[in-house]
């Protein structure tokens, strides 16, 4: 894994010409888990947790591994992937508030689904309809972030 390769890649897609300035131009656009191993611009292979980042000054996008996004770009992807891993291990578990908010912002789930999920996510005993809806939302989110 080469920090220098990542720095050069990000700088080449940025307006700024220095790493310190260039990394401040980028925001987390979306996340996904890849079915097939991919490579990070730093050279790390294999990676499956991919972050799509967007430069807010020029609109450029690139895909970077979750570890690089957290270690070098300081964007908030790790909490989202932790939540995905947690629910992937047991589909009956609940996503974090951050992940539910992300899914709603990305229109993976509706505002109504978000509000319902937030009301029931910490409850231990759910009605049949609540359980079915929670399971449906969990599946929608997992399906939307898997490629």
Q: Is the pLDDT of residue 3 over 90?
A: no
pTM, entire model: 0.84
Q: Is the pLDDT of residue 100 over 70?
A: yes
Residues 6+ apart with CB under 8 A from 129: none
- Average pLDDT in the chain: 92
Per-residue pLDDT tens for 103-134? 999 999 999 999 999 999 999 899 999 999 99
Nearest C-alpha neighbor of 120 from the set 89, 90, 84, 95: 95
- What integer is the mean pLDDT of 72-76? 73
Q: Is the pLDDT of residue 1 over 70?
A: no
**What is the gyration radius of the CA atoms in the chain, in angstroms?**
17
């Amino acid at each position: 894994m080469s920090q220098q390769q990542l720095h050069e890649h990000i700088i080449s897609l940025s307006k700024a010409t220095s790493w310190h300035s260039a990394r401040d131009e980028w925001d987390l656009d979306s996340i996904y888990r890849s079915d097939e191993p991919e490579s990070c611009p730093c050279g790390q292979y294999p990676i499956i947790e991919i972050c799509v980042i967007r430069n807010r000054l020029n609109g450029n996008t690139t895909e970077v591994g979750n570890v690089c996004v957290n270690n070098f770009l300081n964007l908030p992807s790790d909490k989202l992937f932790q939540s995905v891993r947690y629910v992937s291990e047991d589909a009956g578990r609940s996503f974090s508030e951050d992940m539910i908010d992300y899914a709603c912002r990305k229109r993976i789930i509706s505002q109504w689904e978000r509000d319902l999920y937030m009301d029931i996510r910490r409850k231990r005993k759910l009605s049949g309809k609540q359980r079915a809806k929670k399971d449906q939302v969990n599946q929608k989110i997992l399906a939307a972030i898997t490629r």
